[in-house]
Structure 1
Amino acid sequence: MSKRRVFDIDFEDTAVPAGTEPPAATRRGPMAAAISENAEAVSARQATEAGIREENDRLAHEYMKLKKNGQITGLVPVDMIRMDKLTRDRSATRDPELQELKDSIRAVGLSNPIRVEETRDGFELIQGFRRLSAFRELLAETGDETFARIPATLQAKGEDLKHLYRRMVDENLVRRDISFAEMAQLAISYAGQRGMDVGEAVDRLYASAGRQKRAYIKSFVHLLNSVGDALKFPESIPRATGLGLVKLLDTNPRFAGQLRAVLDSQRDRDAATELSLLRGAVTGGAGKPKKPKAPAPKSSARTTIKLNRPEGVARCTASAGKFEVLLDHDFGAVDPRRLELAARAFLDQLKD
């Protein structure tokens, strides 16, 4: 008779009591789902807006930093620029080289923007007096709206006046045509504006210049303080002539009055005449021009030479008291200052 083996088998109790069902997954209604989705969208939008504000703040700070450093450039209407804040170091008389600057601007444009500071109702000029003057004249002469707006670097408001003057002065020190009289006049005006000694004003404004150059400027300060109101064209005085005049002012107490009398004797003088009077006063040593030398006897000789030039053949004729050049060239269109320099160079070559 066979034997049956019995095995113990354990079954998990998975039986479900009769009459019950497994718990169903939790379900949200339409309103709850909409509220949840809207909250997520609002949160995402707020995060995006916060990022935009942060980026705008960063850009605004960067813009103000560039602006403070004068690195923002734009086109500024020339009629919105004032020149009241700083005393200019340029003479009020006509600039003989301004036409050359205007011709350059018309040909190739303005390569170096001016510098302005924003004000409540416009802009204040910091650097670029001649460039602004050229644009304004070109606009008046041509009516071309191209010259109604000038390239300018925008500078933030509030920079110390001392620094603004130094910026203007240091820019002009690299120019060869700024005269000692113009630099001296700026120092006089600055000293009066700041309530300081004019010598200190020279040292502060022209700290970038050498000691010798500052000494020359102080000499011209002395000249302008002594006879400046009697001079019509102080910017035309060369350094040597100015220093000679100052030496006579220091050694002869009557020299200032004598020099004024000489200048008053020719009230309707131009720059060349005034300079001739001043040089005569220096060489005469007593405030009066030297007596002219007796004229040399005139010769009847006549010399003619021909020069081959790129413009053509120049025919030159020299005789007593006369030198004539015939060339197919419009000499009347040449800048008067260039003509004067050429004539001086020519005459200097003829000195004995």
Structure 2
Amino acid sequence: MTKKRRVFDIDFDDQPEDVPAGTEPETRRGPMAAAITENAAALAHRQQAETAIREENDRLAHQFVELKKRGLIVDLVPIDQIYSEKLIRDRAPKRDAEIDELKDSIKAVGLSNPIQVEESSEGWELVQGWRRLTAYRELYKETGDPAYARIPAGLMAKGARLEELYQRMVDENLVRRDISFAEMAQLAVSFAKDPQTNAVSPHDAVDKLFVSAGRQKRAYIKHFTTLIRNLGLVLRFADAIPRRLGLDLVKRLEDNPDLVVDIQHALLNTQRPDAETELAVLQRFAKPVPAGTAPRPVARSTAKTTFKLTRPEGVAKCTAADGRLEVRLNRDFSELDRHRLEQAVQAFLDTLSD
């Protein structure tokens, strides 16, 4: 009689005889365990991929910021969103004669060298490319072509040091054929007056701004800063003063500082419709006085004119005399921005010279 098999008897496969001693047999896994293992492996792979993507994005972001700091990211910027107020331009007030030549080149082949702008709260602040921007604005005004409404520009990140922005502008303009010593000196004088810069004097400003210029050229610019500081407000064609004449005038002023008043008086009392007339006046004073010859004093008038003007601040009392103009008003003019005050006086003198 055969032996009955119990219901709960389970037959296990015999262990294979060829398993090496000390080796545990493979553990059997169910479907759920296999799914969990596969999901964990997929999750780990995904996390590794995300980490690699984040690292790559960080690298590209740092690279983008670095390129932007250097102004190498270029985009088309609307010309009406570009301002030139942060930096004092080393430009004569008259229109640049080479703008027309530049406009013809832009119409023929486009703009090969983008301007440089710094991001600002109102738009973009111009760093380099004043002539190129002027050409685009004139072309858009003349043609109405939307192609000139936006200009290729290198986008610089906000927050660059002011001295660095000035140096960029100066380095670009040093290659210009027409930039005068007076224009470069005016920039140094204005830079030294700017409270945001660390220039102690105009000479110090020249060393900071014109690093790429030779030592001799910097010396010439420093001499012209003396000329601009003494005569800048009465000169109408300062950019036309040749190097030799400027140096001679500075030497005369160093030998006789009181000569400043005589030159100012002569310029203010001379009609100067062109640069040649003004240069003729300056050349008279640049001639050295022979040894033993006392300089002939300039005849001064004793006449005086006084008048009053009613202003919102009160009554302005004005006195005009030979070599002197005085305005008395109940207002603290020292509170005004120096650059703004200088521009107002310059406009006032220009009006009198017309």
Is the pair's TM-score, using the shorter chain for normalization, greater than 0.5?
Answer: yes
Residues 179 and 173 (structure 1 numbering): CA distance in 2 closer, same or farther, change over 3 Å? same
Q: Which residue does 1:273 correspond to in 2?
A: 277
TM-score of the superposed pair, with normalisation by structure 1: 0.68
Letter in 2 for 1:161: L
2:31 is the alignment partner of 1:28: yes
Q: Which residue does 1:103 correspond to in 2?
A: 104
Shift of 1:148: 1.5
Q: For residue 230 of structure 1, give the secondary structure of its aligned residue in structure 2.
A: coil
Contact 1:98 / 1:134 at 8 angstroms: preserved in 2? yes
Shift of 1:190: 1.0
Residues 136 and 40 (structure 1 numbering): CA distance in 2 closer, same or farther, change over 3 Å? same
Residues 173 and 258 (structure 1 numbering): CA distance in 2 closer, same or farther, change over 3 Å? same
Query: Which residue among 238, 245, 253 is the counterpart of 1:241?
Result: 245
Residues 40 and 224 (structure 1 numbering): CA distance in 2 closer, same or farther, change over 3 Å? same
Matched residues in 1 for 2:124 and 2:243: separation?
Answer: 36
Superposed, 1:87-236 pairs within 5 Å as: 87-193=88-194, 194=197, 196-236=200-240
Matched residues in 2 for 1:173 and 1:277: separation?
Answer: 29
Superposed, 1:248-263 pairs within 5 Å as: 248-263=252-267
What is the root-mean-square deviation in Å for CA atoms of aligned residues? Answer: 3.0
Shift of 1:187: 0.7
Matched residues in 2 for 1:71 and 1:78: separation?
Answer: 19
Shift of 1:126: 1.5
Q: For residue 154 of structure 1, give the secondary structure of its aligned residue in structure 2.
A: strand
Matched residues in 1 for 2:151 and 2:257: separation?
Answer: 50
Contact 1:165 / 1:205 at 8 angstroms: preserved in 2? yes
Contact 1:76 / 1:151 at 8 angstroms: preserved in 2? yes
Shift of 1:154: 1.7
Q: Which piece of structure 1 moves more, 262-271 or 52-61?
A: 262-271
Shift of 1:263: 2.3
Matched residues in 1 for 2:30 and 2:39: separation?
Answer: 18
Residues 283 and 97 (structure 1 numbering): CA distance in 2 closer, same or farther, change over 3 Å? farther
Shift of 1:69: 2.7
Would you say how many aligned residue pairs link Structure 1 and Structure 2? 271
Letter in 2 for 1:107: A
Matched residues in 1 for 2:163 and 2:52: separation?
Answer: 41
Matched residues in 1 for 2:172 and 2:86: separation?
Answer: 17
Contact 1:244 / 1:282 at 8 angstroms: preserved in 2? yes
Contact 1:258 / 1:287 at 8 angstroms: preserved in 2? no
Contact 1:102 / 1:135 at 8 angstroms: preserved in 2? yes
Q: Which residue does 1:316 correspond to in 2?
A: none
Contact 2:252 / 2:288 at 8 angstroms: preserved in 1? no
Contact 1:259 / 1:287 at 8 angstroms: preserved in 2? no
Letter in 1 for 2:11: P
Contact 2:84 / 2:126 at 8 angstroms: preserved in 1? yes
Unaligned runs of 5+ in 2: 14-27, 290-294, 298-354
TM-score of the superposed pair, with normalisation by structure 2: 0.67
Contact 1:102 / 1:138 at 8 angstroms: preserved in 2? yes
Shift of 1:18: 4.9
Percent identity over paired residues: 54
Q: For residue 150 of structure 1, give the secondary structure of its aligned residue in structure 2.
A: strand
Matched residues in 1 for 2:216 and 2:45: separation?
Answer: 69
Residues 275 and 138 (structure 1 numbering): CA distance in 2 closer, same or farther, change over 3 Å? farther
Contact 1:255 / 1:287 at 8 angstroms: preserved in 2? no
Q: For residue 229 of structure 1, give the secondary structure of its aligned residue in structure 2.
A: coil
Shift of 1:127: 1.4
Matched residues in 2 for 1:268 and 1:212: separation?
Answer: 32
Shift of 1:98: 1.6
Contact 2:272 / 2:278 at 8 angstroms: preserved in 1? no
Shift of 1:196: 1.0
Residues 212 and 235 (structure 1 numbering): CA distance in 2 closer, same or farther, change over 3 Å? same
